[in-house]
Amino acid sequence: MNLLSLLKQRFSTALSGLVDSPTDYLPLIRPAGDPKFGDYQANCAMPLAKVLGKPAKDIAGEIVSRLDVNDICHPPEIAGPGFINLKFKDEFLLQQFVAATIDERVGVEKSSNPQTVIIDYSSPNVAKPMHVGHLRSSVIGAALDKLFRFLGHHVTSDNHIGDWGTQFGRIIYGYKNFLDEAAYNTNPVGELSRLYRLVNQLSDYHELKTGLPKLEATVAELTDNLATAEAAPLDKKDKAAAQKLKDLRNALTAAKEEVVSAKSKIASVESNADLSAKAQAHPEIARLARVETAKLHQNDAENLALWHKFLPECLKAMDQVYDRLDIKFDMTLGESYYQPMLADVVSDLEKRGLAKESQGAMCVFIEDNSAPFIVRKADGAYTYATTDLATIQDRVERLHANTILYVVDARQSEHFQLLFKTAALWKYPHATLKHISFGTVMGEDRKPYKTRSGDTVGLESLLDEAVVRAKAIVEENESLKRDEDAKLSSDDIQLIAQRIGIGGIKYADLKHHRESDYVFNWDKMLAKKGDTATYIQYAYARVCSIFRKGNIDREQLRHDKSFKLTLTEPLERAMVIKILRFEEILEDAAADYRPNILCQYLFEIADLFSAFFDQHHVLNADNETVKKSRLKLCDITARVMNQGLGLLGIETIEQM
């Protein structure tokens, strides 16, 4: 049951006699900010006053007189300039509460309009170990995956791995020239990634070495220009001149930094005898690596065999990370899967007059967009764009998707804009294509999160560290326990540490609005108090302990109909309303693809429960009626927390 939708229906009927488009005003019905104004509040009278040219208070009166909520609410009250306050009747809440209690889905109905959704998430480029940059797509994608399934949509998750890119040319070149066989045998992906970095470093070296004189010339030129500009008399009112000076200074700083960085990269090769010898022996490395990629793409037997040798190793390494994150995909169709379709995609685009030749390349020109969407490069190579178009074709035509969600970081937003516009012009104007974009994980220095030595943070080591830190917290907690019986076994401690550690990382990621960047902070994410997974997991365990202590069979309790819901305490009522809002929250989170809405809700529930439990007795309540009512409330609170955390991919613990 979605309480808000129910109210919206009633308001829609009431408003339809007053305005042409009642739906425009329905978003103005919201949960009340303060319980003293009721449970929900409708603020539609104020904007309607402007439309209808009458005082808002009169309009509120008119809406209320047309509104039929007698069966569910107390008589609506009009407050202030024209707010309509709504408070549910206890009988109605009881009825809904009972329905939720006996329902496996705690009262959440499935969508009446289920969509066939493909969620494209995680999608790393393979042959490099996964790093912190892959965390967000994996965690947000998995949460949306679970959420949409729970709401009854037909979801297929697809890990659209980059398994056909230019990195393979570099790896193949590295493998043919610099392989450390023993290292490959013990840790294939580690060795492949070393080779990849080595080939990159050597390619960069030659490129920088060639480019350095030009960079230095730029610095000299900018220095001259700046000196001339600074020598000219400064007219303080001339804003354009001031701006020009500023731009010049910035450009000079940037150019100087580029020179410093180039020199340091060059030096790091030249100061190392081995690297330097390799660089001298492979002057054409960048071009030759591109040749290896091209050969692979033309199905050269040797390179294809190497690709088939590397790929399973890469997938195995990725699966280890997914296992730890408890993420499963319905399919992992990498870019390579779509390669046989690309030629047809381009010729079809061309046939329809969408793709045109420009300087040897085939491009789709989209109105109002300066950059064309290149679907075949001048050298004949297909692109990321072509693959993504073929992917849409396959997903819509073979898998019958009507919605495709791409959980990919914000830096690719231009690609997706062009992709979606091209797809609509091509054959798929009715498919819902959405870029679920997200921000960056930052370090305390507010720059993308790196290790102290400046390397990207590996995802596996991050997960390891989370568990180690969580374990220290659990152990400290144990040492404070006075009751010997409450002490945990070492297996339990390990399991709890895992759930708290991994849950903590996931929650810290999901609780932020996905579009914003966030700062990675271990202490904050594992804190026992505050907006953390630990706090909610702890609240959950506290509820479980009530049932343990009272020796209560929860299953039996749930189906016991001989009870009265006591809502005398404001916190009891607040909890009931909160519980009954679960469906509304899930639908909101799904509508905006925002797991943080669910995080916020779970945090509020944990907070309410903690306040309630601190102030009121459950097992020692004044009488049996109150006790049973509160036990039921505790039981459903725990179930909502468990279900909600589960949708976020976070596991609960019965005893902590």
Nearer residue to ligand ARG within complex by CB, 146 or 160: 160
Q: Does 406 participate in binding ligand ARG (rule CB under 6 A)? A: yes
Task: Find the shortest distance in angstroms from Cβ 199 to ligand ARG.
Answer: 19
Rounded Cα gap, residues 10 and 29, in angstroms: 11
Q: For the segment 155-174, give every residue that binds ligand ARG (CB under 6 A).
A: 160, 162
Complex with ligand ARG: residue 388 or 635, whichever CB lies closer: 388
- Give the CA radius of gyration of the chain: 30
124 interacts with ligand ARG by CB under 6 A: yes
Task: CB nearer to ligand ARG: give 41 or 336.
Answer: 336
Query: Among the candidate windows 66-74, 118-126, 207-215, 317-325, which touches ligand ARG by CB under 6 A?
Result: 118-126
Give the nearest distance from C-beta 245 to ligand ARG in angstroms.
Answer: 39
CB 155 within 8 A of CB 148: yes
Shortest Å distance, C-beta 547 to ligand ARG: 44
Q: Tell me the C-alpha to C-alpha distance, in Å, between residue 369 and each of 91, 224, 383, 418, 432.
A: 58, 36, 19, 8, 21
* Binding flag, residue 297, ligand ARG (CB under 6 A): no
Q: Are 439 and 514 in contact (CB under 8 A)?
A: yes
612 binds ligand ARG (CB under 6 A): no
Task: Report the nearest approach of ligand ARG to the CB of residue 408 (Å).
Answer: 5
Q: Which lies closer to ligand ARG via its Cβ, residue 39 or residue 388?
A: 388
Which window, 122-130, 370-378, 451-459, 490-498, contacts ligand ARG (CB under 6 A)?
122-130
Nearest-CA neighbor of 546 among 629, 651, 635, 640?
635
Q: Does 205 bind ligand ARG (CB under 6 A)?
A: no
What's the CA gap between 85 and 112, in Å, rounded?
A: 29
Q: Taking CB under 6 A as the rule, does residue 388 contact ligand ARG?
A: yes
> Both tokens of residue 505?
């990382």
Handedness of CA 408, 409, 415, 416 (dihedral sign): positive
Closer to ligand ARG by Cβ: residue 162 or 501: 162
What does DSSP assign to residue 166?
T
Q: Which stretch binds ligand ARG (CB under 6 A): 28-36, 116-124, 539-547, 639-647?
A: 116-124
Say whether residue 125 binds ligand ARG (CB under 6 A): yes
The H or E element that residue 500 is part of is helix 490-510
**Min separation Cβ 309 and ligand ARG, Å:** 21
Contact 81, 46 (CB under 8 A): yes
Binding window for ligand ARG (CB under 6 A); candidates: 119-127, 304-312, 367-375, 468-476: 119-127
SS3 sequence, 76-117?
CEEECCCEEEECECHHHHHHHHHHHHHCCCCCCCCCCCCCEE
- Report the nearest approach of ligand ARG to the CB of residue 120 (Å): 5
Minimum CB distance to ligand ARG smaller for 38 or for 124:
124
Nearest distance, CB of residue 290 and ligand ARG, angstroms: 19
Q: Report, in Å, the least distance between residue 161 CB and ligand ARG.
A: 7
Task: Give Cβ neighbours of residue 330 (< 8 Å, ≥ 6 apart).
Answer: 155, 156, 157, 158
Is 120 a binder of ligand ARG (CB under 6 A)? Answer: yes
- 394 or 654, CB closer to ligand ARG? 394
What is the SS3 assignment for 548-603?
Answer: HHHCCCHHHHHHCCCCCCCCCCHHHHHHHHHHHCHHHHHHHHHHCCCHHHHHHHHH
CA distance 153 to 409: 24
What is the rounded distance in angstroms from the CA atom of residue 604 to the CA atom of residue 538? 14
Q: Min. distance of Cβ 82 from ligand ARG in angstroms?
A: 48
**Nearer residue to ligand ARG within complex by CB, 383 or 566:** 383
User: Which segment (90-98, 117-125, 142-150, 352-360) binds ligand ARG by CB under 6 A?
Assistant: 117-125
If one counts every other C-beta atom within 10 angstroms of the C-beta of residue 328, the result is: 12
CB of 406 to ligand ARG, least distance (A): 5
Q: How far is the CB of 291 from ligand ARG (least distance, A)?
A: 23
Q: Contact between 145 and ligand ARG (CB under 6 A)?
A: no
Given a contact cutoff of 8 angstroms between Cβ atoms, the answer to whether 282 and 170 are in contact is no
Binder among 2, 43, 96, 123 for ligand ARG (CB under 6 A): 123
User: Does residue number 408 form part of the binding site for ligand ARG (CB under 6 A)?
Assistant: yes
- What does the alpha-carbon distance between residue 375 and residue 389 come to, in Å, rounded to a whole number? 9
The distance of closest approach from Cβ of residue 411 to ligand ARG in the complex, given in angstroms and rounded to an integer, is: 9
Nearer to ligand ARG, 160 or 376 (CB): 160
Using CB under 6 A as the binding rule, whether residue 383 contacts ligand ARG is answered as no
The residue among 417 and 625 lying less far from ligand ARG, judged by its C-beta, is 417
DSSP per position, 407-450:
EEEGGGHHHHHHHHHHHHHHT-TTSEEEEEEE--EE-TTSSB-B
Q: Please state the separation of Cα 468 from the chain's center in Å.
A: 25
Smallest gap from Cβ 332 to ligand ARG, in A, equals 12
Is residue 357 within a helix (H) or strand (E), and if so which, with residue range? strand 355-358
Q: Pick the closer one to ligand ARG by CB: 124 or 174.
A: 124
If one counts every other C-beta atom within 10 angstroms of the C-beta of residue 394, the result is: 16
Q: How many residues line the site for ligand ARG (CB under 6 A)? A: 10
Task: Give whichever of 124 and 644 is closer to ligand ARG, judged by the CB atom.
Answer: 124
Beta-strand (E) ranges in 397-543? Answer: 403-409, 432-438, 441-442, 518-519
Q: Among residues 137 and 642, whose Cβ is nearest to ligand ARG?
A: 137
| In the complex, minimum distance from the CB of residue 236 to ligand ARG, in angstroms, rounded to a whole number | 47
What type of residue sits at position 44? C
Query: What number of H helices and E strands is found in the chain?
Result: 24, 13
The answer to whether 318 contacts ligand ARG (rule: CB under 6 A) is: no
SS3 content of the chain, % helix, strand, coil (to 5): 60, 10, 30
Nearest distance, CB of residue 401 and ligand ARG, angstroms: 13
- When asked if residue 395 is in the footprint of ligand ARG (CB under 6 A), the reply is no
Interface positions with ligand ARG (CB under 6 A):
120, 123-125, 160, 162, 388, 391, 406, 408
